[in-house]
């Protein structure tokens, strides 16, 4: 099961909404603020590649995670002022394949840290065969073995290779 799928299951089990974004997409604090303020109470927010958040966006995320609020700067210079915006409570799921690149302060703010293992070849072969069936593409066992060997333990890569060779 993938990171996004697991996060979606969490949202479904909680009976709440599910929003997805990616660290590199959140360039500015305003990008993050737009997503956070759109969350309904108890929604699950999934940030893929969370290790790629810019430092300034990561700083904004801290207060959102800890206090469910963010501070927004209005205007610049002498007329600048800060407005505090209360957020609905939410569950944040951050995913990364590069956990060593997470800053210690960000890692410390998560209540649970999990490590998901890569898929073994036999499981990947089952996934590949199921995907082939859904695509209505016949596949031999040997082909599923070869695709699984080249997929680096990841169903997304396996499915991409399957679509490429069909």
Cross-strand pairs, 93: 46
Alpha-carbon gap, residue 127 to 72, rounded angstroms: 45
Catalytic residue, candidates 126, 149, 150, 156: 156
Active site residue 5: no
Helices (H), ranges, the chain: 3-14, 29-38, 55-67, 104-109, 121-134, 141-149, 155-165
Nearest to 48 by CA among 37, 38, 59, 35: 35
Catalytic residue, candidates 4, 37, 91, 154: 4
Active site residue 67: no
Alpha-carbon gap, residue 21 to 16, rounded angstroms: 17
Catalytic residue, candidates 27, 28, 69, 97: 97
Catalytic residue, candidates 3, 19, 52, 107: 3
Q: What tokens appear for 25 in the block?
A: 């997409």
Active site residue 156: yes
Count CB atoms within 10 A of the CB of residue 117. Answer: 6
Q: What tokens appear for 84 in the block?
A: 């505090």
Q: Which residues are catalytic?
A: 3-4, 48, 97, 156
């Amino acid at each position: 099961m993938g990171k996004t799928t697991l996060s979606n299951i969490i949202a479904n089990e909680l009976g709440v909404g599910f929003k997805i974004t990616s660290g590199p997409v959140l360039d500015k604090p305003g990008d993050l603020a737009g997503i956070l303020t759109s969350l309904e109470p108890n929604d699950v927010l999934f940030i893929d590649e969370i290790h790629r958040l810019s430092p300034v966006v990561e700083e904004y995320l801290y207060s959102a995670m800890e206090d469910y609020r963010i501070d927004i700067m209005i205007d610049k210079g002498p007329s600048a002022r800060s407005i505090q915006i209360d957020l609905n409570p939410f569950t944040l799921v951050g995913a990364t394949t590069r956990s060593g690149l997470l800053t210690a302060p960000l890692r410390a703010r998560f209540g649970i840290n999990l490590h998901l293992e890569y898929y073994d070849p036999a499981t990947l072969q089952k996934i590949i065969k199921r995907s082939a069936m859904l695509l209505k593409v016949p596949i031999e066992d040997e082909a599923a073995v070869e695709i699984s060997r080249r997929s680096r333990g990841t169903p997304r890569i396996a499915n991409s290779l399957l679509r490429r060779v069909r």
